[in-house]
Amino acid sequence: MHELDRRRLRQGLIGAGIAPRHVRRTIDELQDHYDDVVEQELEEGADRLTACRNALARVGPVDHIVDAVRARPELQSWAFRFPRLAAVLYPLIFVALLPAAPVFIGYAHANLLVRWVVCLFLSALVTAGLLLILQLAITFS
């Protein structure tokens, strides 16, 4: 295996709490650097296998890269830096977005969204009718 292990690097960075946008950028930059080193080695006359090995040696082990990125707290996601705040905000955000979930899900399926709205309207109508009957029963009893 003489390629940059992008999957392991991604898992290590995400596990370290690095924000996804920084993970993508870091992996892309490392891949570009790896490709540049391989091209440079090939231009100097090395065979493909040796060029890949030398490029991996120059880039360094995945664990060292993850440790170097982890040492920069400004690259961590806010939820990793402030876990107590995230533990409060995430549930509140999800509860606030919960009523809109059918709209988000049904956006691509308009017929399902229409059925949902009709069912919601009918259930509100039935509930209002029952409350009216109860009110009339209380009033005239």
pLDDT in tens, 64-82: 999 999 999 888 998 888 9
The count of structural domains within the chain is 2
pLDDT value of position 111: 83
108 found inside a domain? yes
Instruction: Return d(Cα 11, Cα 1) in angstroms, integer.
Output: 18
pLDDT of 22 > 90? The answer is yes
- Structure pTM? 0.61
Is residue 62 within 8 A of residue 5, CB to CB? The reply is yes
Tell me, yes or no, whether 100 and 76 share the same domain. no
State whether 47 and 74 are in the same domain: yes
Whether residues 12 and 76 fall in one domain: yes
Please count the CA atoms within 13 angstroms of the CA of 39 that sit on its side-chain side: 6
> Are residues 11 and 73 located together in one domain of the fold?
yes
Q: What is the DSSP letter of 3?
A: S
Residues 70 and 135 in one domain: no
Instruction: Kindly report, residue by residue over 85-97, the tens digit of the pLDDT.
Output: 999 999 999 888 8
Tell me which DSSP letter residue 100 carries: G
d(CA 77, CA 8): 19
Host domain of residue 104? 95-139
Q: Which of 81, 110, 129 is the last residue of a domain?
A: 81
Q: Are residues 68 and 13 in the same domain?
A: yes
The two three-digit tokens of residue 49, written as one number:
């296998």
Q: pLDDT tens for residues 39-68?
A: 998 999 888 889 888 888 888 888 899 999
Query: CA 69, CA 108: separation in Å to the nearest integer?
Result: 39
Per DSSP, helices labelled H in the chain are 6-15, 20-43, 48-59, 62-70, 78-81, 83-97, 101-106, 110-139
pLDDT surpasses 70 at 25: yes
| pLDDT at residue number 23 | 93
The model's pLDDT over 93-141, given as tens digits with 9 standing for 90+, comes to 988 888 887 777 777 788 877 888 899 999 999 999 999 999 999 999 8
**89 in any annotated domain:** no
